[in-house]
Copies of this chain bind each other. A is one copy, B any other.
Amino acid sequence: MRITLLAGGVGAARFLRGLMAEAPDAQLTVIGNTADDITLFGLHVCPDLDTVMYTLGGGISEEQGWGRDGDTYSVLSELAAYGAGPDWFSLGDRDIATHIHRTSMLAAGLPLSSVTRVLCQRWQPGVELLPMSDDRVETHVVLPGQGEGERTVHFQEWWVRMHAQVPAAAFVFAGAAEATPAPGVIEAIENADVVLFPPSNPVVSIGPVLAVPGIADAVRAKTVVGVSPIIGGAPVRGMADACLAAIGVPATAAGVAAHYGPELLAGWLVDDQDKQAADAPELAGIAVRALPLYMTGVPATAAIARAALALAAELAR
């Protein structure tokens, strides 16, 4: 069975663990969001790709959910002593080695998809990890102006530095309209038996992937089952509610499904406490199933993956 997923960071990585436990023989392709990539100290950092790679490769910091296990912070504290660069983005020494190696390969002319393949040769994540595009796409956040007009910051500055506490007026996926899907992306969607949306942020994780021309069209031609990242009106992790508010979407399981819409989404898994979403008129055309959605461990997550695959099979009949 070939399964292709559009993926953000932590939520997707944890879901993948469960999916791999549930379907160990499936051939998995993960199309990772690269729009929250950021250049820090001249180093190209890919937070979402790395979170998937480290998590599945056994190198993740389990406590944080991102970054390397047992990491230290010598480089960052030295950079701070030089007064260099931003001081609000945490980069451990082990993690920095990944960024140094990636940046060096990019500078040598390798596309990000090839670079990611090289990095994965070490981590052996057990999935094919593809960036959504080899072209640079960056999520910028438009902040409402006060006096001096509106201001735009890189997504990471809003997310990490401002903790998404400043209300966003809009998100711009700079470069997305001119970007091309990375080699293999469209084929992985077209050839998939099942396309899944893991419980990733619909606005700033799945959103940029779908914004790369060609990807949404390919996805629309498939039977897609998604897992709600919202449980009981709140994101399980992260600040998806602040992102949804910016685009006028209710931070509910039903709101997110309606945002994707029945053209994109065939099936939608919600938590038991959101089972009323099955009756929401705005979800007509989307098959909703309720079950426990908290990914409290691999067995619980495997059960969610099992339900997603079962719903996909049911919808494909």
Q: Which of A81-124 contact B (CB under 8 A)?
A: 81-85, 92-94, 96-98, 100-101, 103-104, 107, 118-119, 122
Copies of this chain in its oligomeric complex? 2
Q: Which of A24-44 contact B (CB under 8 A)?
A: 41-43
Q: Which of A47-97 contact B (CB under 8 A)?
A: 71-72, 74-76, 78-79, 81-85, 92-94, 96-97
Are A98 and B78 in contact, with the CB atoms below 8 A?
Answer: yes
CA distance A84 to B99 in the complex (A): 12
Are A78 and B104 in contact, with the CB atoms below 8 A?
Answer: no
Are B82 and A122 in contact, with the CB atoms below 8 A?
Answer: yes
Known: A72-B72, A83-B122, A122-B83. A78 touches B94 (CB 8 A): yes
Nearest neighbor of A72 in chain B, beta-carbon distance = B74
Partner pick for A100 among B75, B92, B101, B119, CB 8 A cutoff = B75
On chain A, which size bracket covers the interface?
20 to 34
Are B72 and A97 in contact, with the CB atoms below 8 A?
Answer: no
Tell me which residues across on chain B come within 8 A of A122, comparing CB atoms: 81-83
Are B119 and A97 in contact, with the CB atoms below 8 A?
Answer: no
CA distance A101 to B79 in the complex (A): 7
Expressed in whole angstroms, the minimum distance between the Cβ of A12 and any Cβ of chain B is 23
Partner pick for A97 among B79, B97, B98, CB 8 A cutoff = B79
CA distance A78 to B104 in the complex (A): 14
Expressed in whole angstroms, the minimum distance between the Cβ of A11 and any Cβ of chain B is 26
Are B94 and A75 in contact, with the CB atoms below 8 A?
Answer: yes
**Supplied contacts A72-B72, A75-B93, A100-B100, 7 more A-B pairs, CB within 8 Å:** A41-B100, A72-B74, A72-B93, A74-B93, A75-B96, A79-B97, A82-B101
